[in-house]
Structure 1
Amino acid sequence: MESSILPFVRKSVAVNLKLMSVLESKLGLPRGALAARHSLQQKGGSEARCIRSQPRSEPMSEAAAAIGAHTDFGSLTILHNRLGGLQVLMPGTDKWLYVKPLPGHAICNIGDTLTVFSAGILRSNLHRVVPPPGAQGGLERWSVVYFTRPAYEVRVKALTEESFLIAEAASKAPAGKYDTGETAGEWVTRRIKYHRLKNRIGPESWRANRGVEEMQV
């Protein structure tokens, strides 16, 4: 098992660090600003996950699918899968569109912490997983994912002191919108806890699961 997981994690980390270096440049951040906040030398919530979904005998209702709609609460998500089922909500609409897997390609999602770090310049996407369309619906759906999240002690706030572009974007937003008041560890713990349906016992606990979804739609 280790011989399979470690190479996958190392390659995922390398790809994510490359993507972050490009984003640093585009956001006007100092080189290594994002990478330093995701250092593997510090304790953090990054994780690899293998997900197996059984075929459904009946179609999923829209109400059931809506419960699973979310944004990722980390920074970057790299997804590998061969069957459809991933849907994204197009900004400004109520239309969900399938993301078609392409051979030899991976799907990358921007997560909420990058939205906050960039003061909304980068946008996390609202997405959900539903049964694969057509004949694919009768097959098991396997996906392998790597979630990159900041080190636990990193404060989840806009990097206004390190980028003029980010400072300018933050200045146009309501005060405090891009300062969560939480460390990444607190942010992840809260989001995971209230993502579980059994912990949602009212409107406040439902809101506690939210990240920046309400900023995006």
Structure 2
Amino acid sequence: MAAPTKLTYVQAPETSASLDWADLITLDLSKFDQPGGKEQLAQDLSRALEEIGFFYVKNHGLSLAEVDSQFALAKSVLSLSNEEKAPYRAALEQGDYNGWKPAGTRDLIPGVKDNFEIYNIPKFIPKHANRAHPEIVKQHWEEIERFSKHIHNHIVKKLLVIFAVALGLQDQDYFVNKHRYEENSGDHLRYMKYHSRSEEENQKLGGVWLKGHSDMGSLTLLFRQPVAALQVLTKDGTWKWVRPQTDALTVNIADALHFLTNGYLKSSIHRVVAPPKDQAHIDRLGVLYMVRIEDDTDLLPIEESPVLQQLNLIQEKTLDGDGKPVKAGEWVRQRVIKNLGSAKAESADNEVNEVEIVKGVKVNYYD
């Protein structure tokens, strides 16, 4: 194999626009191993959950150079021609998101398709060992593996312990044991690019590039993204911008943890909109890590949690139309398949689009 190509990346300048930024809690992972640190972080998390379900994480153990190297890889992979990327297209129709998702697979409104493409690299386990990748990915394979495994071992595991403490669980590894790296789940490192749009297209879309939605796994970790476009739906029903942090990750809770806690851990609603005018010409590049609970997990409330018991959140269970618990892997698979459909179907008030994912279980998409 050829020696790795040396890659560099310079982040875009932040916007100078005055935006209504969300006020988000920051979890400092340097406290994790200190006496009482987990408990303090769990208290901080609980305050964050009262608001939105989005929060920042600092002191995560990855340097700015390591993160920017992944952005450089993302730019290189997604800058390949469509013909070069075509052999690695994800089997979206079968609910598999690994590999390349082209831009334009979905109609947003008649005549305007989505403008984002993705390249997903799954967990480094035997199941995926023979998956083909572009040469630039193979050249940097060991670096990508180190980066991905650091996220799982030194960030995700700590967050999962903090969630267990926040729920009052005696077993602080409760969630960790449902997110074992070697087991089947849809965890992946994601390179993502939103292509810039014309003013005409933005006007047709009302400035909304991706409707308000929840994520389908357990957690989403977003590395610093200086092009402002991410907004979160606050508890008072307003959209606020998520400000990029130089040395912190942005994290949001997703569907699996929402189901397991009956909404105590909120699957936050967020959307992507057109950037401010001073960034409108920039392709919005992203590096993310998607955390997914093990595929065979029943998405039922955790009866062992005294917090959920006190809040009466264990009585109500999410069951499919046949009265069976929804399995985590099937939930993800069906959401991927449904996401291929048209996004233009809406309710009578033109604000919420309700989509059935598995029989009897639905999610909403918000304008």
Under a length normalisation based on structure 1, what TM-score does the superposition of the two structures give? 0.85
Quick one: which amino acid aligns to residue 198 of structure 2? Answer: S
Work out the percentage of aligned pairs sharing the same amino acid.
26
- Contact persistence 1:112–1:211 (CA under 8 A): no
TM-score (norm 2): 0.52
Task: Specify the alignment match of 2:235 in structure 1.
Answer: 91
Tell me the residue number matched to 1:153: 296
Alignment of 1:126-145 (within 5 A): 126-145=269-288
Larger Rg: 2
1:121 shift after superposition: 1.3
- Compare relative contact order (CA 8 Å, sep 6+) and give the higher one, 1 or 2: 1
- Find the partner of 1:3 among 142, 148, 168: 142
**Structure 1: runs of 5+ lacking an equivalent:** none
Contact persistence 2:319–2:325 (CA under 8 A): no
RMSD: 2.9
Determine which of 227, 247, 260 is the counterpart of 1:104.
247
SS in 2 for 1:5: helix
Query: Which whole-Å deviations, capped at 9, do the CAs of 1:28-48 have from their partners, x for residues lacking one?
Result: 121210001111121111111
CA shift, 1:4, in A, is 3.3
- AA paired with 1:115? H
Cα distance in 2 between the residues matched to 1:117 and 1:124: 11
Letter in 1 for 2:357: A
- Structure 1 residue 105: deviation in Å? 1.6
1:48 pairs with one of 185, 189, 193: 189
How does 1:1-217 map onto structure 2 within 5 Å? 1-13=140-152, 14-29=154-169, 30-58=171-199, 59=202, 61=204, 65=208, 68-80=211-223, 81-93=225-237, 95-160=238-303, 162-169=304-311, 171=312, 175-177=316-318, 181-198=325-342, 206-208=355-357
Q: Give 1:97 deviation, angstroms.
A: 1.2
C-alpha distance in 1 between matches for 2:275 and 2:156 = 27
CA contact (8 A) 2:216 2:335 kept: yes
SS at match of 1:208: strand
Paired residue total = 211
Maintained 8 Å contact 1:199/1:205: no
Q: Which amino acid aligns with 1:19?
A: L
Q: Which aligned segments of 4 or more residues in structure 1 are displaced greater than 4 angstroms?
A: 60-64, 177-180, 198-205, 209-214
Gaps of 5+ in 2: 1-139, 348-352
